[in-house]
Amino acid sequence: MEKIIEESKQGESLVLENKPENTKKLFIESYGCAMNFSDSEVVASILSDGGYNTTSVLEEADLVLVNTCSIRDKAEQTIRKRLEKYNAVKRTNPKMKVGVLGCMAERLKSQFLEEEKIVDLVVGPDAYKDLPNLLAEVEEGRDAINVILSKEETYGDISPVRLMSNGITALVSITRGCDNMCTFCVVPFTRGRERSREPQSIMAEIQDLWNKGFKEITLLGQNVDSYLWYGGGLKKDFVNASEMQKATAVDFEQLLEMVAAGFPKMRIRFSTSNPQDMHESILHVIAKYPNICKHIHLPVQSGSNRILKEMNRLHSREEYMALIDKIRAIVPDASISQDMIAGFPTETEEDHQDTLSLMEYVKYNFGYMYSYSERPGTLAGRKMKDDVEEETKARRLQEIVDLQQKHAWFRSEEFVGKTVEVLVEKVSKKSKDEFSGRNSQSITVVFPKENYKIGDFVNVKITSCTSGTLKGEAVGLSSMN
């Protein structure tokens, strides 16, 4: 399981259109990966039906929820500080209730509720439908907890309210949980085993988004490439499915084609991929449909075969490089991004050099790079000594970051002189006279507004670049409009 953590979005509070009949106020903050932000939309939808309107003012909230992440120590420390802040406010507003959702909820349930007494309720990722019952328990003065992981729950029957207020892009969850027991990752223990969502409910949600004017969706899961619907249940139980279930099963290649063909004027992204599940057939679907974005996030974590084995990654360096070669051959204009961990237990200087040489081979467009931090509950946390000095981790991480910066410049410069299609998402942060959006390769493009508007697909000729942004001039609307 890979988690892309966008630092700019951490702690974003979710505010929705109010229902006049609702009398209570909900303040909800999200931390971690896109899946957590998507889950917050589900939670807000459930509570909207339970009498809560959202607010961005913490002090006026009746219920404060924080959707948490356990992937890095930094995220946990941030959430603990936020809980201190909530409890300081609660001292002046004793009626306020505080709850923890998501991955930390499952892992630290007894600590939060019984030992530290800093929250009123703890709700795991598969128990959000139980929120109204749990809140009733809290109202009667009892602690409330539900962190049971489900074999079935995908929230396919809930129409999520949309966190992305631009009304242009949206997240659509297609799987939950993960079966890959990577030794550094806590997700299988906090989100459960992998199960997929019924395809027709996915298509219905996308149809609803299309009707509301959305122009781009991201199919979301811990490991989207291993999507497999055969009538419900865990993916690992597919071996016990009936012959009819196996014959009518839908895999990711088929789902991606269904979505792309069904919504030809809507852009399709997906995240996250896992190297051992990214099959060549998926690449041919990406190449076939112009509305499937040509960006593949393909986490590798390390370039060393020895470390990959220690991480329990199910691919080798050579297999990963062969997959990169296939991507370049079948989808030559694809951008590729990475996740990388520096300083995993027992990592030597030779292992680190293997990572740098792999990066030189691929020359990623961009990446998400971290130094290893031991996560309680993971296999590495239980069985491996965190034996790489912090100073060494920091140096190796900086070398990875510096090399990625060099490659990002190289990849950006490849676009100069070319014309790319951009979906206009917002006004540029740096100038109110410019629009900002992303091209198919998920690279940010900035260009003068002229007479275009947010939501337009615009062809932009790239005239200059930085390592992370392309700049250019609009040459007209694209055929996607």
Token digits of residue 187? 């997700």
Q: Is 293 assigned a ligand-binding role in the annotation? A: no
Distance CA 106, CA 99 (A): 12
Residue 246's CB is within 10 A of a number of other CB atoms, namely 12
Q: Is 182 assigned a ligand-binding role in the annotation? A: yes
Q: Is 465 assigned a ligand-binding role in the annotation? A: no
> Which residues fall within 8 angstroms of residue 351, CB to CB, at 6 or more apart?
302, 303, 304, 306, 307
Per-residue b or e along 376-392, where b marks 16 or more CB atoms closer than 10 Å to that residue's CB:
ebbbbbeebebebeeee
Distance CA 269, CA 6 (A): 16
Q: Is 103 assigned a ligand-binding role in the annotation? A: yes
Q: What angle do CA 405, 406, 412 make, to 5 degrees?
A: 85
Check if the beta carbon of residue 342 is closer than 8 Å to that of residue 395: no
Distance CA 143, CA 94 (A): 15
The gap between the terminal CA atoms of the chain, to the nearest Å, is 35
Distance CA 240, CA 430 (A): 56
Q: How much of the chain is in helix, strand and coil states, percent to nearest 5?
A: 40, 25, 40
Residue 189's CB is within 10 A of a number of other CB atoms, namely 18
| 469 upstream amide cis, omega within 30 of 0 | no
Distance CA 268, CA 219 (A): 7
Give the CA diameter of the chain.
Answer: 66
Which amino acids are annotated as binding site for [4Fe-4S] cluster, given as ranges?
A: 33, 69, 103, 178, 182, 185
Numbered residues of the known binding site: 33, 69, 103, 178, 182, 185
